[in-house]
Amino acid sequence: MLARQHRKHGRWRLYLALMLAVPTLSAHAASTPGKNGDATAERLLNDARAQQAAGQRMHALALCEDALARRPGYPDALRLQIQLLSEMGAAAQAQALAKQLHPAMSDADQAKLQADLGAHQTRWSRAVPADPRHPYAEADHAVATLDQVVSAHAGEASLRARIDRLIAYDQAERAAEAVQDYNAMRRSERPLHEQPLPPYAEASVADALLKQHQPERAIPLYEDSIRRIAGPYPEEEDDPRIGLMYAYMESGRYHDAQLLIDRAATAEPVWLARHGTTQLQPSSHKTEADLHAALWRRYMWLLRDADQRISALAAQAPLDSMLRREQGNTQRARGWPRQSEDTLVTTLGIDPNDTQVRLGIIDDWRELNDFPRVETALREVETVEPRDPLTQQTRHDWDHQRDWQFDITYDRGWGNTPTYGDDDHETEATLQSPLLADHWRIYGITRLAGADLQDSTAERQRAGMGVRFYERGLEAYVQVLPGISSQTRRTALEAGLKWAATDHWLFSTDWSTVGDTDTPLEASAAGITAHALDASAEWRASELTSVKLTAARDLFSDGDHRDGWEAALVQRLYTAPYLTLDGGATVGSTHNTLTNVPYYSPQWARWAMFTSRLESMLYQRYENEWRQRIDVSFGTYQEYRYGSGWIAEVRYGQTFQPHNGLSFGWGLGWSNQPYDGKRESRVMLDLTMHWGE
């Protein structure tokens, strides 16, 4: 979380102050053995107990030191000193002193002291790790200490140790063990409904449940923790409202999540007074709440709002690595991986030990096809934080991205159009090999197309192999597809290139010796093929605005030459949580040198259309998604010698993703436009499946 670094530094300051204070008190006691000669050790001990009761542990500890200086080995003073040290966090020093007691401490007291040690080790494990390359060492040590208490003792000490162990598990990213132990405690002889967890432990268990994808069980624990301790929360403690926000989101209560985080951000003061001074310092909880309010918007597709909020926070605190990290992640979400990479590389200079920054850079490389750098960098992160859920998710996504890929699409249309026929269909299936040498894939491809024409049947069937090459910002392919049916003419040799020159410019080109994409099936039935070349340039400001220009040239084997172009503008009109509405316009024209041919080939045609697209999320839970999309276009179509008429297209479709790497889609569409002065309509069905990345 955002405020964790600040709170960790605060804990270290407290720890150092305590460690320095204990020897100072001892030195003070030893340097004044002759003062207050009338005061007896018993009186000093009574004063120490009074100070302890008043909450003044440091003063009580000093009085114990004085009492022991006047009466060395005084058992009652030594016991109180051990108790005070244990309460103040110096449990290890208290254990060392306990060995001097005669008679020895009771089993119950020893268990309590050992439990204190485990509890304090758990607290210190939340500070900055002593070795950044071993972030779990302190928490694992705390778990081991508490394991000893649980196995060796019973009663209150064992119960307390089990509760503290839940927190240590969470700190050590051992969420599964935390949930397992919590479930066992609920089934124990003293179930938790009779003696509920303390609020701080409830929040830790809720964190573990959330990491185990059990948000419905986490919510009541978060809510009860907040109800019992409503805040304000100390700077060195986590704010449970942040975890509750994510639990609401992951259980589908998006509005509740927004209300919670926005209220928390509004309620938190911007500035806090330093303890014991009038000097003000920024509130880390305020910054944390503001950040997660922005992240809620990013997760809900409100990318521009999230970007503006996070950029404003980063401008106020340019050296805050967590703000800069989320700024980079938001830039990637908006389609700017290079800008994201620059931001995150700079952030590494602020905090070289932030592994989440490195994971963000890895995501940028994956998006840019900069594959050779990914595996080595990811392994370096895994050696440091192998248990981190984000590290594990990145490994899962990368392994799927570089593994086998399978795609199949099926399109079917019914109508009576010169271009498509009465009943047309096309199927394309592609199976790609795993990534080879970080740059290559070999794949097999099959394309099957057919149509019932007015007086004949046409088919075009090909199957072949191809190779795909990846470089940073670049993707290219070459494929060979021989015909596998008697009506399929020639062997197709095809090649293409995509080049993302910047975060805003994308250039692409495709070339084919047969032009199956541009050649109507009527032409194929007559044995006609085409050399086809298509090129496009797209400028994309962000997810909100894009402009694309496409040009094409087809040289048909019957001597016809077709030239065409199209320009398209897409502009985001409205954005709401899990809903977007885009509007745009498309204009284009085509020109043919021959018109007396056995396929639709007007001397020239022009069109202009308004386009719109509505997309929304019907259901989302972790990797499981269900989306819908509606496309509506209408405009005018003008053809040489036949004048102009209206044209319209409508499509409704859904996409279902059971988990990452597997998705299914379907769509149903309708179109209507004039061909050679005759109005034709067409109904279309499309089905898709993807397995892999």
Tens digit of pLDDT for each residue in 464-500? 999 999 999 999 999 999 999 988 989 999 999 999 9
Give the largest Cα separation in the chain, rounded: 125
The rounded distance, in Å, linking the Cα atoms of 423 and 421 is 6
In whole angstroms, what is the distance from residue 181 CA to residue 207 CA? 14
Angle between helices 215-228 and 240-250 (to 10 degrees): 150
Asked if residues 600 and 676 have their Cβ atoms less than 8 Å apart, the reply is yes
- Comparing CA positions, the residue from 484, 487, 486 lying closest to residue 527 is 487
Phi, psi of 110 (to 5 degrees): -65, -40
* The two three-digit tokens of residue 387, written as one number: 């248990």
Model pLDDT for residues 169-213, shown as the tens digit of each residue = 999 999 999 999 999 988 875 655 556 788 889 999 999 999 999
Looking at residue 206, what DSSP letter applies? H
Ranges 102-116, 281-295, 397-411: which has the least confidence: 102-116
Q: Per-residue b/e over 472-485, b at no fewer than 16 CB within 10 Å?
A: ebeeebebebebee
The residues near 1 (Cβ < 8 Å, ≥ 6 apart) are 238, 239, 242, 288, 322
Res. 627: pLDDT tops 70: yes
296 against 38, higher pLDDT: 296
Encoded tokens for 459 = 């088919």
- 193 vs 587 pLDDT, higher one: 587
What is the rounded distance in angstroms from the CA atom of residue 24 to the CA atom of residue 62? 9
For residue 151, what are the CA distances in angstroms to 112, 155, 162, 190? 14, 11, 10, 17
Confidence class of residue 46 from pLDDT cuts 50, 70 and 90? confident
Query: Cα Rg for the chain, rounded, in angstroms?
Result: 35
pLDDT digits (tens, 9 = 90+) for 532-581: 999 999 999 999 999 999 999 999 999 999 999 999 999 999 999 999 99
Buried b (16+ CB within 10 A) or exposed e, 199-234: bbbbbbbbbbbbbbebbebbbebbbbbbeebeeebe
Q: Residue 537: phi, psi to the nearest 5? A: -135, 130
Q: How far is CA 359 from CA 1, 323, 326, 395, 570, in A?
A: 16, 15, 12, 10, 32
Band (pLDDT 50/70/90 cuts) for residue 101 is: confident
pLDDT at 415: 85
User: β-strand 579-592 against 271-273: which pairing, if any?
Assistant: unpaired
Name the more confident of 117 and 207.
Answer: 207
Tell me what the pLDDT averaged over the chain comes to. 89
The answer to whether 289 and 241 are in contact (CB under 8 A) is yes
Closest to 245 (Cα-Cα) out of 267, 225, 223:
223
Alpha helix stretches (DSSP H) within 300-387? 303-316, 321-333, 337-350, 355-367, 374-384
Mean pLDDT confidence for 346-371: 96
- Across 273-277, 347-351, 681-685, least confident range: 273-277
Is pLDDT larger for residue 403 or for residue 456? 403
Q: Cβ distance 444 to 477 under 8 Å?
A: no
Could you say which DSSP state residue 622 is in?
T
Instruction: Return the minimum-mean-pLDDT range out of 19-28, 440-449, 618-627.
Output: 19-28
Q: What was the pLDDT predicted at 191?
A: 58
**pLDDT confidence of residue 190:** 60
Quote the crossing angle between the two packed helices 175-186 and 199-211, to the nearest 10°: 120
Lowest-pLDDT range, 413-422, 450-459, 631-640, 665-674?
413-422
- 629 Cβ neighbours under 8 A, 6+ residues apart: 613, 614, 615, 651, 652, 653, 654, 655, 667
Please report where in the chains the tokens 């898709």 appear, as a residue: 688
Distance CA 461, CA 294 (A): 51
List, for residues 316-348, the tens digit of each pLDDT value. 999 999 999 999 999 999 999 999 999 999 999
**pLDDT at position 13:** 41
What is the C-alpha to C-alpha distance for residues 47 and 41, in angstroms, rounded to an integer?
Answer: 10
Q: Is the pTM of this model over 0.85?
A: yes
Picking from 99-108, 248-257, 299-308, 393-402, which range would have the lowest pLDDT averaged per residue? 99-108
- The DSSP bridge pattern shows strands 421-432 and 440-452 to be antiparallel
Where is average pLDDT lowest: 49-58, 200-209, 595-604?
49-58
Closest-CA residue to 506 (of 537, 534, 533, 477): 537
Beta-carbon neighbour count of residue 186 at 10 Å?
10
Residue 105: how many CB atoms within 10 A of its CB? Answer: 16
The 10s digit of each residue's pLDDT in 219-270 is 999 999 999 988 788 887 889 999 999 999 999 999 999 999 999 999 988 8
- Return d(Cα 531, Cα 494) in angstroms, integer: 10
How far is the C-alpha of 596 from the C-alpha of 330, rounded, in Å?
A: 55
Residues with Cβ within 8 Å of 301's Cβ and at least 6 positions away in sequence, in order, are: 575, 577, 578, 579, 580, 617
CATH 1.20.120 fits 402-691, yes or no: no
Mean pLDDT of 54-62: 83
